[in-house]
């Protein structure tokens, strides 16, 4: 089986444009939540895309394009028109929870207000969940496998896991992967609100006793995965090794997690087994940590069951305390945040954490970042993602 | 209510639409081809909808496939209306 490495990353998040902004902002304790939402306020497509490119892309695809350009540059895949591998050996797998819901809502408004003849022809090509993977494949001339993964809030992690497998078995030499989401729309906000999933207080307080739901964010994260030998041959700088991946299903409920955390626990165990590692090898866990009452309790149980006593020695923090919940982009953005944390030997904080909840007694890295204990070895971390529908996916990443 | 179909009125609507699609307004003339302006089948589907909205002239897929230049489009709309 081939070893797979990450050679480039790019991100558009509520903390700003660029993966550096995400890491620097989070570690510094910046919270990008305003008025109960976490929008990418700095993002103006006109700064990066032509009029034609913008018009042909829903906001979730625009995020993927801009993060993709950054990731390719970061990986040294330049000029963009000249891929470092035969185009047929490069793939593109992206995750999204919903796809182009803004396009969908505008199209539906026109249908109801002005009739079927007034629905723009671009509605379907922009709203389809695979629009972002198609746009990137076209933009970069990728001719291997390209498709999108839909597994709600686990989609970004599933996409990276699928990309990993694609390279491991030799179906591709490199894959552009990650996820994007732009669901700060009236319908999505109202619908998540009806589900009682959103924070009524407008604060994202993962693992805190006062947590009352997630804060909806938006953005995108793209990673370049390559076969390690081929990456070395082309002299690529390597950011991280994708050591393992585990994915399971709860087979329990459409929105609620398995009540004893078994599904989530099995995905953590599967990622560790795939990496041939034990909990003692893990220096940091980037939690799913949505700040919903149920997720954070069940995730804590799952980590304890998978890690045993070592759970108490492992820092666990949630990126969502800084940028809210990016749904199908969350796993991708959080994998990037994990790589930065491991490389920087730092445990980023769970912002806002002040009050312990009963039975939730892990080290959630409250309020302030702190150095990561590493025992002199390159640190290894996990990034957890759990989606509506009972989809669980966990990545095991090692800093280089 | 539809706008009166004159060559000038149609030219303006077509030119504005193509500029909105992302073409450089300075390069849009009646002689310029859609290929030169990077106007593709999706743009033409939108253009047909705009024309129908504005002038009440319906362009079918076959009609759209025949037109190659901005002038062709204007001419087809004007001839259909008369």
pLDDT of res. B1: 53
Q: Does A122 touch chain B (CB under 8 A)?
A: yes
Q: How far is CA A211 from the centre of its chain?
A: 21
Judge: B38–A125 Cβ closer than 8 Å, yes or no.
Answer: no
Token pair belonging to A209:
């006793």
E strand segments, A61-190: 90-95, 146-149, 174-181
User: What are the residue ranges in chain A where pLDDT is below 70?
Assistant: none
Token pair belonging to A51:
């009029």
- Of A133, A38, A93, nearest in space to A327 by CA: A38
Closest residue in chain A to residue B41, using alpha carbons only: A121
- Of A55, A126, A115, A52, nearest in space to B53 by CA: A115
pLDDT of res. A80: 87
Place of tokens 């947590």: A211
ipTM of predicted assembly, 2 dp: 0.91
pLDDT at B2 > cutoff 80? no
A87: left (phi over 0), alpha (psi -120 to 50) or beta: alpha
The C-alpha angle with vertex A331 and arms to A329 and A332, in degrees rounded to 5, equals 65
Token pair belonging to B46:
């939108």
pLDDT at B18 > cutoff 90? yes
What letter would DSSP give residue A88? Answer: G
Q: What is the pLDDT of residues A31-69, one digit of tens each?
A: 999 999 999 999 999 999 999 999 999 999 999 999 999
Length of chain A: 400
Q: Is the pTM of this model over 0.95?
A: yes
Count how many pairs of residues, chain A against chain B, have C-beta atoms within 8 Å: 24
Asked if omega into A339 is within 30° of 0 (cis), the reply is: no
Which residues contact residue A303 at a Cβ distance below 8 angstroms, ignoring those fewer than 6 apart?
A265, A268, A285, A287, A311, A314, A316, A362
Neighbours of A191 (CB within 10 A): 15
Q: What is the pLDDT of residues A267-305, one digit of tens each?
A: 999 999 999 999 999 999 999 999 999 999 999 999 999
Rounded CA separation A156/A326 (Å): 10
pLDDT averaged over every residue in chain A: 97
Closest Cβ opposite residue A52 in set B38, B45, B53: B38
Q: Which residues of A touch B42 (CB under 8 A)?
A: 56, 121-122, 125
Q: Are strands A4-13 and A240-249 parallel, antiparallel or unpaired?
A: antiparallel
Rounded CA separation A295/A196 (Å): 13
């Amino acid at each position: 089986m081939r070893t797979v490495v990450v050679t480039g990353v790019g991100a558009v998040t509520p903390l700003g444009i660029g993966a550096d902004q995400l890491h620097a902002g989070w570690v510094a304790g910046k919270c990008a939540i305003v008025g109960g939402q976490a929008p990418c306020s700095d993002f103006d497509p006109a700064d990066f895309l032509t009029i034609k490119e913008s018009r042909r892309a829903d906001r979730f695809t625009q995020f993927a394009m801009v993060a993709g350009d950054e990731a390719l540059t970061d990986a040294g895949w330049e000029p963009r028109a000249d891929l470092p591998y035969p185009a047929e050996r490069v793939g593109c797998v992206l995750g999204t929870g919903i796809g182009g819901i803004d396009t969908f809502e505008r199209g539906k408004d026109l249908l109801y207000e002005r009739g079927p003849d007034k629905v723009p022809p671009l509605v379907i090509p922009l709203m389809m969940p695979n629009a972002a993977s198609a746009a990137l494949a076209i933009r970069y001339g990728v001719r291997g496998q390209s498709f999108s993964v839909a597994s709600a809030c686990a989609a970004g992690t599933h996409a990276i896991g699928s990309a990993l497998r694609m390279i491991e078995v030799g179906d591709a030499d490199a894959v552009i992967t990650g996820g994007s989401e732009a669901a700060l729309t009236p319908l999505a906000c109202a619908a998540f609100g009806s589900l009682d999933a959103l924070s009524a207080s407008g604060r994202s307080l993962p693992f805190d006793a006062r947590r009352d739901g997630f804060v909806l964010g938006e953005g995108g994260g793209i990673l370049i995965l390559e076969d390690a030998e081929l990456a070395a041959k082309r002299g690529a700088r390597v950011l991280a090794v994708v050591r393992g991946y585990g994915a399971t299903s709860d087979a329990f409920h459409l929105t609620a997690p398995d009540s004893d955390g078994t599904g989530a626990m099995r995905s953590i165990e599967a990622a560790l087994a795939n990496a041939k590692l034990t909990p003692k090898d893990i220096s940091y866990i980037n939690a799913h940590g949505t700040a919903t009452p149920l997720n954070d309790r069940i995730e804590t149980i799952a980590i304890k069951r998978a890690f045993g006593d070592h759970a108490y020695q492992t820092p666990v923090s949630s990126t969502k305390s800084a940028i809210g919940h990016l749904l199908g982009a969350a796993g991708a953005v959080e994998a990037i945040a994990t790589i930065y944390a491991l490389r920087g030997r730092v445990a980023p904080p769970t912002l806002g954490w002040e009050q312990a909840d009963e039975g939730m007694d892990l080290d959630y890295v409250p309020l302030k970042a702190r150095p990561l204990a590493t025992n002199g070895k390159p640190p290894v971390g996990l990034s957890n993602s759990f989606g509506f529908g009972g989809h669980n996916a966990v990545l095991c990443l090692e800093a280089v | 209510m539809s706008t009166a179909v004159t060559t000038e009125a149609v030219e303006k609507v077509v030119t504005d639409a193509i500029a909105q699609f992302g073409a450089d307004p300075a390069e849009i003339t009646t002689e310029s081809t859609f290929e030169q302006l990077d106007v593709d089948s999706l743009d033409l589907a939108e253009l047909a909808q705009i024309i129908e909205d504005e002038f009440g002239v319906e362009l079918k897929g076959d009609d759209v496939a025949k037109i190659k230049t901005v002038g062709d489009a204007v001419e087809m709309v004007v001839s259909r209306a008369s």
